Amino acid sequence: MKIALFGKLFNENFTDSFKMMFEVFTKHNVEIFIYEPLYDFLIREINFKPPVGGYFSGYEDLDKDVKYVFSIGGDGTFLDAVRVVRDSGIPIVGINSGRLGFMADIAQDEIPQALADIIAGEFTIEERSLLQLETSKNGLFEEFNYALNEFTVHKTDSASMITIHTYLNNEYLNSYWADGLIISTPTGSTAYSLSAGGPILIPNTQNFVISPISPHNLTVRPIVVPNHHEITLRVEGRSKAYMASLDSRSCTFDSSIELKIKRANFQIKVLKLKTHSFYGTLRNKLMWGVDKRN
């Protein structure tokens, strides 16, 4: 079996767990390919030169015979792993080397049992939808114009709000007078959209959430729309430039550019342990329903 390890760095308190992973993989004759920046970090920072079968630096040189991509880090690293996997169909395994970890949900103390379960085939595969951004002019996110969490448009200064004219399948929905607007997938509904007052969606629901950021009108609230609808945005304001973001990547654009958001034509596969559930993650990671009185 071939696997790929993706990541950039981790804290020293994760070092023993990382070395233990190599011991388990070696014991089971697993061939390991490693992300080059991660390999450089291991040699430079912790003086660890693990035995590997090869290296990769991105999607183009990722061996497509790899069975799983292990993302070592937090949720930001997991989102970066999506750009490596893309439409290859290779499942991502989220190993949390930090604190919260919503998508990277295998905690450090769970790693030994998690690896045993994965090698034994005791897991499920979830498919997560992505959104795709298209623009009226080339130049925005040409390298990878997809997002697992959300697309966001927001102002670039603190002077004034912007107006975001929004259409669903070319039918006018609303003009949001706000600091920005978030278009979220179900996966991203527990991220930025949630902090802006958006609802939580179950991962396999076929919807987008449109959530305004600090809207001027209090009558405007987040709305859930089917993800087979195409969302068109036209932005105007006093500034000459605005900010667009796909997950953790951002770039600026001007008001002449029309933005179209739709469901991507492929999904990301995520490996989930049978002992984990979305509802359990809500309770444990987001303290869902916690009340001092209980």
Residue 197's contacts (CB-CB under 8 Å, 6 or more residues apart) are: 211, 221, 222
The 10s digit of each residue's pLDDT in 159-186 is 689 999 999 999 999 999 999 999 999 9
Query: In which band, very low, low, confident or very high, does the pLDDT at 291 lie, cut at 50, 70 and 90?
Result: confident
Tell me, what's the pLDDT at 287? 81
pTM: 0.93
> Could you tell me which residue, 288 or 251, shows the higher pLDDT?
251
Q: Is 75 a catalytic site residue?
A: yes
CATH code of the region 2-122+274-285: 3.40.50.10330
Sheet holding 150-155, edge to edge: 223-226, 207-213, 180-184, 150-155, 242-246, 249-253
CA distance 139 to 235: 17
Closest CA to 271 of 156, 105, 52, 131: 105
Query: In which band, very low, low, confident or very high, does the pLDDT at 146 lie, cut at 50, 70 and 90?
Result: very high
What's the mean pLDDT in 42-46? 93
Tell me, what's the pLDDT at 137? 80
Tell me, what's the pLDDT at 131? 98
CATH code of the region 130-266: 2.60.200.30
In the chain, where are the structural domains located? 2-122+274-285, 130-266
With the C-alpha atoms ordered 101, 103, 106, 108, is the resulting torsion angle positive or negative? Answer: negative
Active-site residue, selected from the candidate residues 40, 65, 75, 105? 75
pLDDT greater than 90 at residue 221: yes
CA distances from 36 to 17, 40, 90 (A): 20, 6, 19
CA distances from 63 to 1, 2, 34, 49 (A): 12, 9, 11, 21
In the numeric block, which tokens belong to residue 49? 């030169």
Task: Check: CB of residue 272 under 8 Å from CB of residue 201.
Answer: no
